[in-house]
Amino acid sequence: MKTYLATAFAFFLFSSGFSRAQTAYDSVVYARKIYKTVDTVQLTAHVFYKPSTLRKTGNTALAFFHGGGWAFGKPDEFFNACKRYANLGFVAISFQYRLVTDTGNNPDKTVTPIDCVIDVRSAMRWLREHARDYGVDSDKIVAGGQSVGGQLILCAAMLDAPNDPKDNLRVSPAPNAIISWSGTVNTLDPWCDRLLGNKRAQIWSISPAHNVKSKMPPVIAFHGVADHVVDFWTVSFFADEMRALGNHMEIYKYEGRQHYLGDPDPHYARLFDEGILTKTDDFLRRFGFMKP
């Protein structure tokens, strides 16, 4: 009987804790919005927020862009991170962008990494134009990207082009701060070259490492020293060039970790772990995007 009662009590504690966790996440509202249409393709923004957040003004928006080498990946990789930050009072959005569907050398009939950059710039403009709908301060828009997601948001911050001519080009696509998890900074690699096909001459134009400028928003980067997809040294050199021009860029390096910094923890799609997000929180607080 004692064993039964102990087991029942343990089950009650477990189920109660589970219910509280579910209730916290259930209070977050999820909305799917179409931010752009290209031919017949509708690109979506997946928005997470708490109703209480929308009753306030001056909110921070946190936009996420997945990785996958411009050819793979999905917005839902960031959904758990969106829920986490929505619970902390952010408006969190995970964006879809077009992917290269044919990795052969016929770019006239396919999407290329240049189109990925265009879409991310469109997404950031859409977010800034709709900031007031979510009580977001248009000067408090942070973008975070994993792998090529990092390259895409850096391009949104440092380039004047490429742009979708249907965008409102008077609206800036630049985020007010950048978070990079295992982010790509140099596109001069065989994979990107292959995906660009006969547009490969433009490879320089979408490479952050070859377009460094001053007056960039603050950047924080998390990178594994054992990352063999995006070599750590490329990010280290990029940071040196950024700082030389007076920009703020800090790097947290992780010995022994590879491209998926949260591996094997699947909660955040192996992209990062809670410890990395705690450091991310500190960065957001220091620059005024998150309350102490």
The pLDDT tens digits for 26-40 are: 599 999 999 999 999
Q: In a 10 Å sphere around its CB, with 0-12 CB exposed, 13-18 middle and 19+ buried, how is residue 16 labelled?
A: exposed
Please give the pLDDT value at position 105.
Answer: 54
Q: Are 47 and 99 in contact (CB under 8 A)?
A: no
Q: Please indicate, yes or no, if residue 118 is contained in any of the structural domains.
A: yes
Give the chain as a 3 state SS string: CHHHHHHHHHHHHHHHHHHHHHHHHHCCEEEEEEEEEECCEEEEEEEEECHHHHCCCCEEEEEEECCCCCCCCCHHHHHHHHHHHHHCCCEEEEECCCCCCCCCCCHHHCCCHHHHHHHHHHHHHHHHHCHHHHCEEEEEEEEEEECHHHHHHHHHHHCCCCCCCCCCCCCCCCCCEEEEECCCCCCCCHHHHHHHHHHHHHHHHHCHHHCCCCCCCCEEEEEECCCCCCCHHHHHHHHHHHHHCCCCEEEEEECCCCCCCCCCCCCCCCCCCHHHHHHHHHHHHHCCCCCC
Q: Are 261 and 170 in contact (CB under 8 A)?
A: no
Q: Please indicate, yes or no, if residue 156 is contained in any of the structural domains.
A: yes
Distant-in-sequence, close-in-space partners of 217: CB < 8 Å, separation ≥ 6: 157, 174, 175, 176, 177, 178
Q: Please indicate, yes or no, if residue 209 is contained in any of the structural domains.
A: yes
Q: Please indicate, yes or no, if residue 15 is contained in any of the structural domains.
A: no
User: What's the total number of domains in the chain?
Assistant: 1
Structural domain range at position 127: 31-286
Using CA atoms, how far apart are residues 250 and 25, in angstroms rounded to an integer? 31
Please give the pLDDT value at position 19.
Answer: 33
Q: Please indicate, yes or no, if residue 195 is contained in any of the structural domains.
A: yes
Q: Are 101 and 111 in contact (CB under 8 A)?
A: yes
Q: Please indicate, yes or no, if residue 11 is contained in any of the structural domains.
A: no
Please give the pLDDT value at position 197.
Answer: 85
Please give the pLDDT value at position 26.
Answer: 52
The pLDDT tens digits for 2-57 are: 444 444 434 333 333 333 333 444 599 999 999 999 999 999 999 999 999 999 99
Q: Please indicate, yes or no, if residue 92 is contained in any of the structural domains.
A: yes
Please give the pLDDT value at position 245.
Answer: 98
Low-confidence residues in the chain, pLDDT < 70: 1-26, 102-109
Using CA atoms, how far apart are residues 58 and 291, in angstroms rounded to an integer? 11
Q: Are 285 and 60 in contact (CB under 8 A)?
A: no
Please give the pLDDT value at position 103.
Answer: 58
Please give the pLDDT value at position 14.
Answer: 35
Q: Please indicate, yes or no, if residue 98 is contained in any of the structural domains.
A: yes
Please give the pLDDT value at position 241.
Answer: 98
Please give the pLDDT value at position 101.
Answer: 79
Please give the pLDDT value at position 15.
Answer: 37
Dmax over Cα atoms in the chain, in whole Å? 76
CA distances from 89 to 53, 66, 145, 209 (A): 6, 22, 20, 34
Instruction: Supply the CATH number for residue 225's domain.
Output: 3.40.50.1820
- Residue 243 burial (CB count, 10 A): 12
Q: Cis peptide leading into 264, omega within 30 of 0? A: yes
Using CA atoms, how far apart are residues 186 and 210, in angstroms rounded to an integer? 8
Please give the pLDDT value at position 5.
Answer: 43
Order of strands across the sheet that contains 59-65: 29-38, 41-49, 91-95, 59-65, 136-146, 177-181, 219-224, 249-254
